[in-house]
Amino acid sequence: MEPGYSKAEKTLMSAKSLDAHMRQLVPERVSEDDKLVEYDFILLDRFLDVLQDLHGEDMKETVQRCYELAGEYGSSEGHVDFEKLEELANVLNSLDPGNSIVVSSSFSHMLNLGNLAEEVQIAHRRRLKPKSGDIGDENCALTESDIDETFRRLVYDLQKSPKEIFDALKCQTVDLVLTAHPTQSVRRSLLQKHGRIRTCLSQLYEPGITPDEKQELDEALQREIHAAFRTDEIRRTPPTPQDEMRAGMSYFHETIWNGLPKFLRRVDTALSNIGLDERLPYNVPLIQFSSWMGGDRDGNPRVTPEVTRDVCLLARLIAANLYYSQMEDLMFQLSMWRCSDELRVKVQEIEASYRKDAKHYMEFWKPIPPNEPFRVVLGSVRDRLYNTREYMRDLLAFGKSDIPEDDTFTSVDQILEPLELCYRSLSATGDKPIADGSLLDFMRQVSCFGLSLVKLDIRQESERHTDVMDAITTHLGLGSYRNWSEEQRQEWLLSELRGKRPLFGVDLPKTDEVRDVLDTFHVIAELPPDSFGAYIISMAMTPSDVLSVELLQRECRVAHPLRVVPLFEKLADLEAAPAVLSRLFSVDWYRNRIDGKQEVMIGYSDSGKDAGRLSAAWQLYKSQEELIKVAKQYGVKLNIFHGRGGTVGRGGGPTHLAILSQPPDTIHGSLRVTVQGEVIEQSFGEEHLCFRTLQRFTAATLEHGMHPPVKPKPEWRALMDEMALISTEEYRSIVFKEPRFMEYFHSVSNTCAGVWTHEHWE
């Protein structure tokens, strides 16, 4: 190589000279105009430099040789070159244990870098993606849901009016539920390094980059590759629920917080493109977020009532901190002097309040000039946010606070009211373009995230509630609840629900398990109601499973009871779910309690593990159809909560196609779905990923509602029933009946996972 070239230039030259060799190894991998080959080689070259610096020239050559042999022995149109394979085996067998670890770590790292290169290349392709009507658009639309293209397709192809789309969006809700899950094995610190590698690689090829900028980016790229290689890939100690919560909340701070208003602005732009000169109202619940982190206690003994309390307070503390920072920025921007009479009156009230209690506010209040009325109003919000933040910090650290609760925000409307006032004033005085800027963005953020940032779902297994009821009936001398029939259970539960007397007192004998369940309900009663979403019962099989939770909420004095959601997971449970729901709706007390709304969760993971993917998918489809029929029969609006896993084996797959393939009438503008494990990083790890995720769910949900899929024909159903039956038999014959399967599974799992134990795979 000629001297005087930068590393980046040398790599590009090297990439071009080796391009033919790479294409011989993977002839169908990329097209002529792809950047993937260049991306691959520049990352590989940087890594080999790092490897040489750390482990010497010999190790670099060994890894290079293994890399070449691994590519060559299987590159000839699917035929294995056994001579190359044997040569590779000889190289690996000749290594001592220490060098074997370095080589295996190197290949793991190179695979990660290869994935990063592909992600950058996909992003490059997406930027060049054809628009509607261009060649190739049909293929692009198969797995993506561009909001602008979806609007245009609905208007021009399906003859929907812009107002129909606007009205549908105003009534639409997508609730994304982030869950902690062991499928995400990679540490957060390593994921962040991978993100910086992607960023450096993308910027390295941007047009107009100067040689100096290229050199600096190249140095940063090598530095991040070096740091990633030196970082342990696997957590050596399991994360606590609080760790999981902090990791989940980091996505809100890093991408979701800013990504949400950007996405909603794109929706406004897309509406404008189809001729609608109106923005979505700021309080439209188009996107919502929930969490299971710190609330999912099903099979996780580390999720205690204390943990649930801590994660709720932590989320409220993070929300108050985000709002406080945003308010400081907003005060800096809204420096206008002209305002409405309504706002001027509010300013006078605030100034009078400050003068009356100047000593109390002396710590952070400075007089604001009278020609800056918006800053006076927003300043009062900022001061109260400061109190709210410190109040939550005290509760989290000490369990109490000296700050009066009346000096904090206890309702999201208390924040939105002064913001709305500022918006009305700006709009009334000719400054509406300013109102539609950062102020509107902030109002949308507050409306979406509330004071709790996310709503925490509580999940518990039905048997744990049975334990509590059994302890109560035994203590009262009524016999064993566990041994009662379903009819006896329902009769007793309903009699107690219709009555007003306390069911038990402090003298109730409690095992640790019973105390844990009751203490969880006491935490729900103690904390603000907007901290929580649903109470999910896993392994729910009878109406009494739901009624027992309703009774426990009342007995533990939950002032605003959580909606109770039965979860049907295994194949038999899914088949029985419509009958269970019908029996539940036939109870007058319960039907009056839910006020025409019910949520049901269906599990993709357990059903897939129980019967195999094909059978599970078909049963999920049929169960949804039957559940909707039952709900319509009783005049109840049913919202189906989809517990989709991250991997394909756990129910994952392309989101766009998954939503559009749901049975007709099962979504109707309301979609709730889990985002778990490694999918959280893939969906929200970077701002552009967050944008795509919000766009994909919103567009596909809208399209399903306005252009429902066709119902399967009878002959299709018959064929699917036959295929599902055969599939289940074949799947179970291997997984459940083949005696050697577990040995094989453990062997493959341990080989792939390295230091992971069997516990991680449960």
3-state DSSP call for residue 709?
A: coil
- Give the burial class of 521: count Cβ atoms within 10 A of its Cβ; 0-12 exposed, 13-18 middle, 19 or more buried: buried
Instruction: Kindly give, in sequence order, each residue whose CB lies less than 8 Å from that of residue 469, ignoring residues fewer than 6 positions away.
Output: 481, 482, 489, 493, 548
Q: Of 753, 659, 758, whose CA–CA distance to 706 is shortest?
A: 659
Strand stretches in 120-246, DSSP E: 173-179
Count CB atoms within 10 A of the CB of residue 416. Answer: 19
Q: What is the C-alpha to C-alpha distance for residues 323 and 294, in angstroms, rounded to an integer? A: 23
Tokens encoding 77: 């149109």
Identify the residue whose tokens are 């778990």. Answer: 676
At 344, the amino acid letter reads: R
Q: Of the residues 84, 455, 510, 609, which is catalytic?
A: 609
175, β-bridge pairs: 288, 672
Q: What is the C-alpha to C-alpha distance for residues 726 and 706, in angstroms, rounded to an integer? A: 35
Instruction: Kindly give, in sequence order, each residue whose CB lies less than 8 Å from that of residue 336, ignoring residues fewer than 6 positions away.
Output: 372, 374, 426, 431, 434
At 390, the amino acid letter reads: E
Verify whether residue 262 is a known catalytic residue: no
Identify the residue whose tokens are 């901190």. Answer: 321
Q: What is the C-alpha to C-alpha distance for residues 629 and 425, in angstroms, rounded to an integer? A: 49
Q: Of the residues 109, 181, 194, 510, which is catalytic?
A: 181
Count CB atoms within 10 A of the CB of residue 742. Answer: 10
Residue 417: HSE in the Cβ half-sphere, 13 Å Cα cutoff: 9
Tokens encoding 277: 């000169």
Q: What is the C-alpha to C-alpha distance for residues 135 and 590, in angstroms, rounded to an integer? A: 55
338 alpha carbon, distance to own chain's centre: 42
Verify whether residue 758 is a known catalytic residue: no
* 465, 553 contact by CB (below 8 A): no
Q: What is the C-alpha to C-alpha distance for residues 656 and 661, in angstroms, rounded to an integer? A: 9
Q: At what angle do helices 613-633 and 571-585 cross, to 10 degrees?
A: 10
Q: What is the C-alpha to C-alpha distance for residues 540 and 461, in angstroms, rounded to an integer? A: 8
456 phi, psi to nearest 5 deg:
-90, 125
Instruction: Kindly give, in sequence order, each residue whose CB lies less than 8 Å from that of residue 353, ignoring residues fewer than 6 positions away.
Output: 380
Instruction: Kindly give, in sequence order, each residue whose CB lies less than 8 Å from that of residue 386, ignoring residues fewer than 6 positions away.
Output: 324, 364
76, β-bridge pairs: 79
Q: Report DSSP letters for 52-107, one per residue.
A: HHHH-HHHHHHHHHHHHHHHHTT-BTTB--HHHHHHHHHHHHTS-HHHHHHHHHHH
Query: b/e string for 536-554 if b means 16 or more Cβ within 10 A?
Result: bbbbbbbbbbbbbbbbbbb
Cα dihedral 278→279→282→285 (10° resolution): 100
Running DSSP on this structure, what letter comes out for residue 668? T
Cα dihedral 744→110→182→683 (10° resolution): -130
What is the distance in angstroms between the CA of the first residue and the CA of the last residue of the chain? 53
456, β-bridge pairs: 291, 532
Tokens encoding 643: 């517990």
Q: Of 520, 631, 531, whose CA–CA distance to 580 is shortest?
A: 631
Pairing of strands 532-538, 670-676: unpaired
Running DSSP on this structure, what letter comes out for residue 595? T
Catalytic residues: 181, 609
